[in-house]
Amino acid sequence: MLNSFKKILFSRWARMIFSAILIYFAFRNADLPQLYANLSSVSWQLIVVLILLNVISMLIGGLRWAILVLGRVKFADILIFTKASFTGSFYALFFPSSVGGDLLKWTTLLTKYPEISKLKLAGTALIDRVIGFSAFSFLAFLSLILGKILKYQFPNILFWLFLGINIALIVFYVLVFALDFEKIIFKHKFLSKLLEIVDLLKNSNKKRIIICFLISLMAQPFWMMISYFMFRGLGVDLHLIQIFIFMPIISLILTLPISWAGFGARENLYVYFLAPLGYSVEKLLFVSTFSGVIGILVALLGGLMLLF
């Protein structure tokens, strides 16, 4: 009974219905003809620049995943893992959250790296997601603290939620670096199938996790600058410090599997957090909708790569 309820709750149809409800509440008082006119007037140059910046961001993700799996990488490896990440973003359009794409993106690597087992590729895809999410969660928590110092108003529940997430991630890393997984597997032979994943968690390979975490941390400012260019390009003069405070918080909340491609949830979050700063609701809805469209266009590149 509980499993059936979960399947219904996190199904694609449930996600689309909830997105539709959120979209209704976000746009119920908006000037839809004006919104459409604003979207239609966006220059193609801005669209191309934003897509290229997102491609660079995907390349950074491909580099991180390649290092995690291979250790030493060539540029060709980065391109192969980046292509796999693109296909994952395409698959994620049909899952309750972006994590769903991780369940399939590693399959595109099987023909390129036949010497690596399926279990290891799948396991590293999930570990790579945890590493990226760790850096992202850490930054969002720092952004929340900075926002509070600068007297921005946030619900108290966000502080405790972000603190809980970061504590859980710290516990995860403590276990990863404190436990000797090789000895654990050796003592419990029924765990032998996990040897391929444990290969990554050997003491000699754990430095890869640190390198990948540092790559994720250094990539965060670049990712936020994409948001800054988007806001500025669409005529919303959001200050750089406000980008660094609010965008990580909004994006972390959007990792929850509550909507399709973030539509509806993103619009409500933009209005909830940014409208009190003095920005018009219509402009925020415009930027939010455009951001979702860019995300879909980038994900569709993964679909094109699957065709070719």
pLDDT at 107 > cutoff 90: no
Q: How confident is the model at residue 196 (pLDDT cuts 50, 70, 90)?
A: low
**CA neighbours within 13 Å on the CB side: how many for 38?**
19
Higher-pLDDT residue of 5 and 223 is 223
Q: pLDDT tens digit string along 79-93? A: 999 999 988 888 877
pLDDT at 173 > cutoff 80: yes
Higher-pLDDT residue of 257 and 132 is 132
pLDDT of 10 reads: 44
pLDDT of 9 reads: 39
Question: Between 281-307 and 265-274, two packed helices, what is the crossing angle to 10 degrees?
Answer: 140
Give me the mean pLDDT over the 16-39 stretch.
58
Q: Is residue 271 part of a domain?
A: yes
d(CA 140, CA 166): 10
Q: How confident is the model at residue 145 (pLDDT cuts 50, 70, 90)?
A: very high
Higher-pLDDT residue of 125 and 22 is 125
Q: How confident is the model at residue 198 (pLDDT cuts 50, 70, 90)?
A: low
Q: Is residue 205 part of a domain?
A: yes
Q: Is residue 234 part of a domain?
A: yes
pLDDT at 188 > cutoff 60: no
Q: Is residue 39 part of a domain?
A: no
pLDDT of 164 reads: 94
Give me the mean pLDDT over the 163-192 stretch.
75
Task: Name, in order, each residue with C-beta under 8 angstroms of 89's C-beta and a sequence gap of 6 or more.
Answer: 58, 98, 101, 298, 299, 302
Q: Is residue 8 part of a domain?
A: no
Q: How confident is the model at residue 4 (pLDDT cuts 50, 70, 90)?
A: very low
| Segments forming the whole domain that contains residue 195 | 46-307
Give Cα 140 distance to the centre of its chain. Answer: 13
Q: How confident is the model at residue 5 (pLDDT cuts 50, 70, 90)?
A: very low
CB atoms < 10 A from the CB of 179, how many? 11
pLDDT at 40 > cutoff 80: no
What percent of the chain has pLDDT above 90? 25
Residue 111 vs residues 14, 65, 91, 107, 114: alpha-carbon distances, Å = 35, 17, 19, 8, 6
pLDDT of 137 reads: 93
Q: Is residue 263 part of a domain?
A: yes
Give me the mean pLDDT over the 264-279 stretch.
86
Average per-residue pLDDT for the chain? 79
Q: Map tokens 């994720």 to a residue.
A: 216
Supply the pTM of this predicted model. Answer: 0.79
Q: Is residue 21 part of a domain?
A: no
pLDDT at 190 > cutoff 70: no
Higher-pLDDT residue of 20 and 272 is 272
Q: Is residue 18 part of a domain?
A: no
Number of domain units in the chain: 1
Q: pLDDT tens digit string along 45-79? A: 888 999 999 999 999 999 999 998 888 899 999 99
Q: pLDDT tens digit string along 284-297? A: 888 888 888 888 88
